[in-house]
Chains A and B, each alone.
Chain A
Amino acid sequence: MVDQPVRRDGIVPPAPVEGRAAARLSAPSQTRKWLPRHYVEAWLLLLPSLVLLATFTHIPIVSTLIDSFYSTPKANRPSHFVGLANYDDMFADPIFWKSFWNNVVYALGTIPVSVAIALAMAIFVNGRLPGRGLLRMAYFTPTVLPMIAVANIWLFFYTPSYGLLDQIARLFGGHATNWLGSQSTALGAIMVVTVWKEAGFFMIFYLAALQQIPPDLKEAADIEGASRFTFFRRVTWPLLMPVTLFILVNAVINAFRTVDHIFIMTGGGPDNATNVLLFHIYEIGFKFWDQGYATAMTMVLLAILAGLALVQFLTAGRKVHYQ
């Protein structure tokens, strides 16, 4: 038994039998087994996960697409095919466009800033600064807090005249500002909270990548007399490229997915100044129960994420290969 050959998949083949007997024994068992045991095993192992993923990801994607061509069922009128009517409604809805552009501004405003701050944090913490353990903790702590808690804390900050921000402003002779109640500042105020919450999370990935850069590169650069900035620009930054891509993809997903703080801080207001896509989908789908329209908007979100997946596939495809 012990010296038997073992196949790559770990299945032990039957013991070899000499001569004609071998041919007679093994050949039929190979042909008759058109469904090898390890196929079945693999599929059984996968079954629970695949059923769940199909139920809550794949089928919903398809049914969202189908539902977007149907009207919302009403008590006296069941759902019926309406063609592109939901999409027509959507394109004619100024709030949709408002939330779409808000989301774009939100993404473009938060992502570069949090990524830049995350990189700075990682470089600080990776160096030999006094108290870097404490610093790392300070940077990372917001990541552990629930977004709802973060929103509560910042809501207090932004409170007109009583909040910390206005109290500080008063010290310098400023006056009360309604940060979250004014159309011009509300989205910006929300974006600050997002950066505060996310930068520490992205820092971790940069930190992991920085620690994997071989120290001899730095030594070689020192011998060449390269400045720290040159070293960063020519060596560190290119080496961090894959991580930066990974972070960017995650940041974009988050920008369209994380709306918790909007519920607490502004409820999408004032006058939709902080409304974003997923928040608007929630309002249409679960407050006004217009699910036909909500699915059409979900398709927009899915299209954005699919585009992102495509970009990631095209750019990351050559950088990593597994196995």
Chain B
Amino acid sequence: MSARDRSSPLSHALETGAAWALGLFWLAPLLYAIWTAFHPALYATHFDLFAPLTLENLDRAWHAAPFARYFLNTIILVTMIVGAQCVLCTLAAFAFARFEFPGRNLLFALVLIQLMIAPEILAVANYQTVRALGFVDSLIGVALPYFTSAFGIFLLRQAFLGVPKDLEEAARIEGCGTLGVLWRVYVPLARPIYLAYGLVQVSFHWNNFLWPLIITNSVETRPLTVGLSVFSSTDQGIDWSVITAATIMTSGPLLIGFLLFQRQFVQSFMRAGIK
């Protein structure tokens, strides 16, 4: 700390300048998009500080495609996936963390394979499976391959390993069964990990594109990302104001959530990433 104060004012100024130049470059595309979305189309390509603000682009985008339905689909998808993952990963992580059984290490190694090979890489084979199950063009078909996650199992196992055994033993003596111990001792103690993991997964699945693109084929099932890509590629020609408005609109909830809970968000990503 003292060293930083001692370093020369010039190098400090240079560092500040570089940091902010990079920051501006990183912010500029987004700011420009927001600016375009809220100004009349005329100004999309002519920057003018005093251009009138308008919500017309958003309004036109909203009515040009069934975005309400896309929003609903995305929300259902994300809720289903994150809910299922929280339950299934918890159960599996508990087994790996606190039970001795034959095949434990082998099974854990097999689970970790999914860290490398995501379901969408195996899209061709997984599509055949989902088709055989009759889930093509359905929300469940999009969600099912993501119902459990190696990343979640890994993360929660780490968290559970850190829970003192005495607590579990005390709960057992009090008469808790296996699920009781899990629910009353382990889950509450791992709450920060759940928050971290949940935020990461919400943002991942809100943004997921390739697998939903393959599985969905209609307005009733398309999530926002696929809806937005269909909207901007076919419906609009090159009306940039409307496309940008739709873009901002679809990322809006996540973006606003991020700005409001910025600290928790960054810390969550940090925690989820530390292995």
What residues make up the interface of A, taking CB atoms closer than 8 Å to B? 1-2, 4, 6, 8-10, 12, 38-39, 41-43, 45-46, 48-50, 52-53, 55-61, 63-64, 67, 117, 120-121, 124-125, 127-150, 152-154, 156-157, 159, 162, 164, 167, 196, 199-201, 204-205, 207-208, 215, 218-219, 221-222, 228, 246, 253, 256-257, 259-260, 263-264, 278, 281-282, 285-286, 291, 294-295, 298, 301-302, 305-306, 308-309, 320, 322-323
Contact across chains for B244 and A146 when beta carbons are under 8 A apart:
no
B129 nearest CB across to chain A (Å) = 6
Across-interface contacts of A8 in B (CB, < 8 A): 100, 165
Contact across chains for A120 and B229 when beta carbons are under 8 A apart:
no
- Given known A134-B23, A205-B273, contact A60–B30 (CB-CB < 8 A): no
- Given known A124-B15, A139-B26, A157-B29, contact A282–B214 (CB-CB < 8 A): yes
Contact across chains for B172 and A6 when beta carbons are under 8 A apart:
yes
* Interface assignment of B206: CB less than 8 Å from any CB of chain A: yes
Task: Across the interface, name the chain B residue whose C-beta is closest to A297.
Answer: B124
- The CA-CA distance from A127 to B213 in the complex, in Å, is 42
* Interface assignment of B158: CB less than 8 Å from any CB of chain A: yes
Number of interface residues of B (CB under 8 A): 104
Contact across chains for A141 and B229 when beta carbons are under 8 A apart:
no
Contact across chains for B251 and A149 when beta carbons are under 8 A apart:
yes
- Given known A156-B36, A162-B45, A298-B121, contact A55–B129 (CB-CB < 8 A): yes
14 intermolecular pairs with C-beta atoms under 8 Å apart: A6-B173, A39-B99, A52-B144, A55-B129, A61-B117, A124-B19, A136-B266, A139-B26, A142-B30, A145-B255, A148-B228, A196-B29, A260-B225, A306-B116
Task: Across the interface, name the chain B residue whose C-beta is closest to A38.
Answer: B99
Contact across chains for B22 and A57 when beta carbons are under 8 A apart:
no
Report B243-275 CB contacts with A as 1/0, cut-off 8 Å.
Answer: 110011011001100110010011001110111
* Interface assignment of B126: CB less than 8 Å from any CB of chain A: yes
Contact across chains for B99 and A41 when beta carbons are under 8 A apart:
yes
- The CA-CA distance from A162 to B41 in the complex, in Å, is 12
Central interface residue in B18, B29, B45, B181, by most chain A CB within 10 Å? B29
Across-interface contacts of B165 in A (CB, < 8 A): 8, 10
Across-interface contacts of A10 in B (CB, < 8 A): 98, 165, 168-169, 172, 181
What residues make up the interface of B, taking CB atoms closer than 8 Å to A? 1-4, 6-7, 15-16, 18-20, 22-24, 26-27, 29-30, 32-33, 36, 44-45, 88-89, 91-92, 94-96, 98-102, 104, 107, 110-111, 113-114, 116-129, 144-145, 147-148, 150, 153, 158, 161, 165, 168-169, 172-173, 178, 181, 203, 206-207, 209-210, 213-214, 224-225, 228-229, 232-233, 238, 240, 243-244, 247-248, 250-251, 254-255, 258-259, 262, 265-266, 269-271, 273-275
Contact across chains for B209 and A147 when beta carbons are under 8 A apart:
yes
Contact across chains for A45 and B125 when beta carbons are under 8 A apart:
no
Contact across chains for A49 and B92 when beta carbons are under 8 A apart:
yes
Across-interface contacts of B94 in A (CB, < 8 A): 45
Across-interface contacts of A201 in B (CB, < 8 A): 269
Across the interface, B122 reaches (CB within 8 A) one of A48, A64, A142, A152, namely: A64
Contact across chains for B209 and A263 when beta carbons are under 8 A apart:
yes
